[in-house]
Amino acid sequence: DQQVKQNSPSLSVQEGRISILNCDYTNSMFDYFLWYKKYPAEGPTFLISISSIKDKNEDGRFTVFLNKSAKHLSLHIVPSQPGDSAVYFCAATNSGYALNFGKGTSLLVTP
Amino acid sequence: DAMVIQNPRYQVTQFGKPVTLSCSQTLNHNVMYWYQQKSSQAPKLLFHYYDKDFNNEADTPDNFQSRRPNTSFCFLDIRSPGLGDAAMYLCATSRDRGAYNEQFFGPGTRLTVL
């Protein structure tokens, strides 16, 4: 059963605007959450993470928000750039090594 | 550049014919992972090696095995591939186990089963 869900398979955003990618999880034992970015023909690369003791983590244009009560996290990209066009995977773990991934959201940033 | 390399990038095999996928790393990481990603699905961890210690996920079919002859190399063996084993296979490494150890992924091997 899918413990990490990304319900939007795709998202299109204009350059300069905000991209918001959403992720929901079902396992309340998850305590560390990550976002990976994947370009075609390449492996996923780590983007940003957040521990369950925080509700926000920011790194440049990328911010991840965590709402534990709703079991929801989101990735905000501001401003979006064409080079951000990629598939974004949400992942979660319970302090272990095993990453539970979502199916990914394909982001297209148009000029 | 230090990296995770997977060979071949594309592999075609016949139903029931054993196949081996290869992964190598120049990062000198202790942990190597194999993930399976079927079309439009999430990557799913099959197993990992922590140094020489093999760790199988509970729901990984017996058809899938792995070898790690040294720190740099790890192999995924599929003994009798079925049509349902067609997928992208991703290798990843991390310095140590635990959530805070970033996993570095290779580009994947896409397996087709005829």
Of A21, A4, A7, nearest to A85 by C-alpha is: A21
pLDDT at B1 over 80: no
What's the average model confidence in pLDDT over B16-26?
A: 97
Distance from CA of B55 to the nearest CA of A (A): 11
Q: Which helix (H) or strand (E) segment is B28 a member of? A: none
**pLDDT at position B2:** 62
**pLDDT at position A96:** 78
**pLDDT at position A97:** 78
CA geometry: angle A94, A97, A99, nearest 5 deg:
70
Q: What are phi and psi of B85, to 5 degrees?
A: -90, -5
Cα-Cα-Cα-Cα torsion A3, A102, B99, A58, nearest 10 degrees, comes to: -120
Q: What six digits make up the tokens of A79? A: 């401003």
| Mean confidence (pLDDT) of chain B | 94
Cβ within 8 Å, pair A43-B92: yes
Which residue in B44, B105, B109 has the most chain A C-beta atoms within 10 A of its own C-beta, making it the best mutation to test that interface? Answer: B105
Q: Would you place residue B99 in the very low, low, confident or very high pLDDT band (cuts 50, 70, 90)?
A: confident
The contacts of residue B106 (CB under 8 Å, 6+ apart) are A43, B3, B4, B5, B6, B23, B90, B91, B92
> Which CA distances in Å does A69 have to A52, A58, A66, A73?
11, 20, 9, 10
**pLDDT at position A19:** 98
Using a CB-CB distance cutoff of 8 angstroms, which residues of chain A are in contact with residue B57?
98
In chain A, what percentage of residues exceed pLDDT 70? 100
Contact (Cβ atoms closer than 8 angstroms) between residue A61 and residue B58: no
Which residue in B103, B109, B110 has the most chain A C-beta atoms within 10 A of its own C-beta, making it the best mutation to test that interface? Answer: B103
What's the average model confidence in pLDDT over B29-51?
A: 95
- Residue A40 identity: P
Q: Would you place residue A95 in the very low, low, confident or very high pLDDT band (cuts 50, 70, 90)?
A: confident
Q: Which of B44, B99, B108 sits opposite A43 (nearest CB)?
A: B108
Chain A residue with Cα closest to B40: A103
Cα-Cα-Cα-Cα torsion A48, B32, B109, B47, nearest 10 degrees, comes to: -100
pLDDT at A1 over 80: no
Convert the pLDDT of each residue in A37-65 to its tens digit: 999 989 999 999 999 999 999 999 999 99
Contact (Cβ atoms closer than 8 angstroms) between residue A83 and residue A107: no
How many beta-carbon pairs below 8 A join chains A and B?
Answer: 56
Using a CB-CB distance cutoff of 8 angstroms, which residues of chain A are in contact with residue B43?
44, 89, 99, 101
